[in-house]
Amino acid sequence: MTPHRYLILYKPYDVLTQFTDEQGRATLADYVPVAGVYAAGRLDRDSEGLLLLTDDGRLAHRITHPRWKLPKTYLVQVECVEGPPDQSVLMQLRRGVIVKGQRTAPARAELLSRPPDLPPRAVRDYHPTAWLRITLREGRKRQVRRMTAAVGFPTLRLVRVAIGPLQLGDLQPGAWRDLTERERQALFRAVGLTQ
């Protein structure tokens, strides 16, 4: 039996989290020349960062299923018309905010003291910005963007930097690599799977 593949990719901005597109937009196929793998989870076209690709359906299911509550961490650049988010805003994010009529699950949220060391990407800069680190254990569609908008701080840039024990590290946009054996074992433990 052929062993499964486990890859991490830094999905660039403006790339679809799929391998084909009838409209000719950029897809994962433009970056990952590995047959048979698919994304375990999604990132919106206008988001970037860590994406796990695998041909192991059992693992992909556990990563995306809410039961396992695998934490996902994002660096979020937000627009600050009237100053950066204060502690009351961070507490709202931590407790959960109402998005589309439902309260989000509690999240970890912190204001970064300086911009993170990320590959540069132009964003509109009509107003000052701030960076947040937000960790979720649920994954609703466009959740981080909707959460920051709900507290008055629209997201300008969103970069996923961790999925459970996996870290984006120093990968650059469009670059990918196989997981190390240590990373693979840690990921399996995080979702309750054995070898």
**Superfamily of the domain at 71-163:** Alpha-L RNA-binding motif (3.30.70.1560)
Residue with tokens 């999604």: 42
Q: Which two tokens mark 122?
A: 């132009």
Residues known to be catalytic: 44
CATH 3.30.70.580 applies to domain 6-66+164-190: yes
pLDDT (tens place) for every residue of the chain, 195 residues total: 568 999 999 999 999 999 999 999 999 999 999 999 999 988 999 999 999 999 999 999 988 877 778 899 999 999 998 889 999 999 999 999 998 899 999 999 999 999 999 998 877 777 899 999 999 988 777 899 999 999 999 999 999 999 999 999 999 999 999 999 999 999 999 998 876
Element (H, E) at 59: helix 57-64
113 Cβ partners below 8 Å, 6+ apart?
none
**Domain range annotation of the chain:** 6-66+164-190, 71-163
